[in-house]
Amino acid sequence: MEAVEFGKKTDNDVYVAKECKITGKINSRTNVIIDGELEGTIETKADLLVGPHGKVEAEIFAVNARIQGEVHGNITAENLLVIASTAVVYGDIKTKGLQIEQGARFIGKSQNHDHHDQAGSITELETKPETEYESEPSDNPEFLQGKKKSKLSFKPIIYNRMP
């Protein structure tokens, strides 16, 4: 798989600026760059870049994608999906290659989208609800009892794809 160079802007790219909000479907043969907000669907035969200020609520289909902002929706990247350290992704992903940088937040399932390996690999870990505390360090259990906020449940994903 080739390394992808994101950020090489051309005159043919579709660009949603920081102060713009679009509702609808983008269908493009060229790169799509989102620095603003988009709600709907993104389909590109090239690369997608969601910038650090980008907020997307959409189903995404691209050859390669780099997420630096926030995405709510499923992502299908034909070759490579990069979830940057500043990114927040809520949704399921399908891709041949996945890179998640330290600090990124990803909540969903990942699936190998390789045409040669139709099985794909998904590993999920079910956890019991835990108690959330306000983030004030203390070794005093009485202090923690008074700071209980709510119960929350989460499903961490253990990502283990062997070549």
d(CA 61, CA 2): 19
pLDDT at 1: 34
Q: Which residue has the higher pLDDT, 152 or 30?
A: 30
Label residue 105 by pLDDT band (50, 70, 90): very high
What are the tens digits of pLDDT across the range 35-70? Answer: 999 999 999 999 999 999 999 999 999 999 999 999
Predicted confidence band of residue 11 (pLDDT cuts 50, 70, 90)? low
Strands 130-133 vs 148-152: parallel, antiparallel or unpaired: antiparallel
* 44's tokens: 């590109």
